[in-house]
Amino acid sequence: MCGIVGLLVKKPALREQLGKLMVPMLIGMTDRGPDSAGLAVFAEPLKGSGRKLSLYSGLTEAGADFDWHCLTHGLQQHLGVKSDIEIKYNHAVLSFEVSPDIVKKWLREHHPRLHILSTGQTIDLYKDIGTPAMVSDRYDFSSLTGSHLVGHTRMATESAVTPDRAHPFTAGEDFCLVHNGSLSNPYGLRRKLEPHGIHFDTDNDTEAACRFLEWRLREGDDLETALHAGFEELDGFFTFLMGTPDKLALIRDPFACKPAVVAETDDYVAIASEFRSLAHLPDVKHAKVFEPAPEEMYVWNA
């Protein structure tokens, strides 16, 4: 079991409240996923060639005491890259104006245990072990702002309970995916993807789905074509919720083995595994509430 939540606000004025509206959604899914939680939030893109990485220091020896300023100093010293850093406990968003590949290569060489959570112009990603309430507090989720976000509460079945195996998973830039369910062919997918030079961070089944879909997008598929390919290739049970800079997308397996419910008003589209997580939303009593059909693609634009 796991819980998924997603929220997209339609009115710019509501972007300030995105985190506040979402935290009860995430906590509402604690019964479905008490061991880890995470979310990816999409906000205003960085300008020009600006890129940012979400980084997690919980797996390093220093943990939450990781010396982030030493890291930015090292980047300046070794690569001549100027960067900004925003630190929250064992998490930081590092932004800079060079190719992210150069920075990531340097990070892997100099800070191999630092986990790179996400890369892009718009995405910030947080995930850690602990209950959804603990993780929300740890990173002050209620203060998050942006146009849309994708969240997850985990009850691990297919791989160990560790921060890097929590959801969302990302691949490439500004793409993330959360999953409720389990895949039966993740290793087959890996064997297909690895010859294309695609590297995996964990043994998690969801990571295989995430990297497969991102690979299709990178090969030129639009989101709908990529999801269609997903139906062909991914075997197992899934409700997937995906985020891109301007879209939320949802698909369910043909047997609808894992739940999803949507509430839509003039102000927002909210998605959750169960209505319990939507019940607190403003004016939800007058929302259009429906269950997404299996094997259909639902795409909402930010």
Catalytic residues: 2
Whichever of 55 and 260 has its CB closer to other proteins, that residue is 260
Q: Which of 98, 289, 297, 299 binds other proteins (CB under 8 A)?
A: 289
Is 294 one of the binding residues for other proteins (CB under 8 A)? yes
Triad 183, 175, 136: Cα angle to 5°? 85
Q: How far apart are CA 63 and CA 54, in angstroms?
A: 15
Shortest Å, Cβ 46 to other proteins: 38
Beta carbons of 165 and 210 less than 8 angstroms apart:
no
Whichever of 74 and 294 has its CB closer to other proteins, that residue is 294
Tell me the number of residues near other proteins by CB under 8 A: 18
Q: Which of 11, 47, 199, 285 binds other proteins (CB under 8 A)?
A: 285
Q: Which of 97, 145, 275, 299 binds other proteins (CB under 8 A)?
A: 275
Closest C-alpha among 124, 142, 179 to residue 27: 142
The stretch among 15-23, 92-100, 201-209, 288-296 that binds other proteins (CB under 8 A) is 288-296
Q: Which of 59, 274, 297, 299 binds other proteins (CB under 8 A)?
A: 274
Q: Which of 134, 279, 297, 299 binds other proteins (CB under 8 A)?
A: 279
Q: Which of 29, 250, 278, 302 binds other proteins (CB under 8 A)?
A: 278
- How many other C-beta atoms can be found within 10 angstroms of the C-beta atom of residue 266? 9
CA 35 to each of CA 47, 94, 118, 231, 246: distance values in angstroms, whole numbers, following the listed order: 37, 27, 21, 28, 30
Residue 254 CA neighbour count, 13 Å, CB half: 8
Q: How far apart are CA 210 and CA 219, in angstroms?
A: 14
The amino acid at residue 243 is G
Q: In what order do the strands lie in the sheet with 169-170?
A: 169-170, 176-183, 236-244, 247-252, 298-301
Is 288 one of the binding residues for other proteins (CB under 8 A)? no
* Residues numbered 241-270 forming contacts with other proteins, rule: CB under 8 A: 254-256, 259, 261
What x/- string results for residues 51 through 90 when contact with other proteins is judged by CB under 8 A? ----------------------------------------
Is 293 one of the binding residues for other proteins (CB under 8 A)? yes
The stretch among 87-95, 129-137, 178-186, 290-298 that binds other proteins (CB under 8 A) is 290-298
Is 155 one of the binding residues for other proteins (CB under 8 A)? no
Closest C-alpha among 15, 10, 40, 2 to residue 264: 10
Q: Which of 16, 291, 296, 301 binds other proteins (CB under 8 A)?
A: 291
221 CB-contact burial (10 Å; exposed 0-12 / middle 13-18 / buried 19+): middle
Which residues contact other proteins by CB under 8 A? 254-256, 259, 261, 274-280, 285, 289-291, 293-294
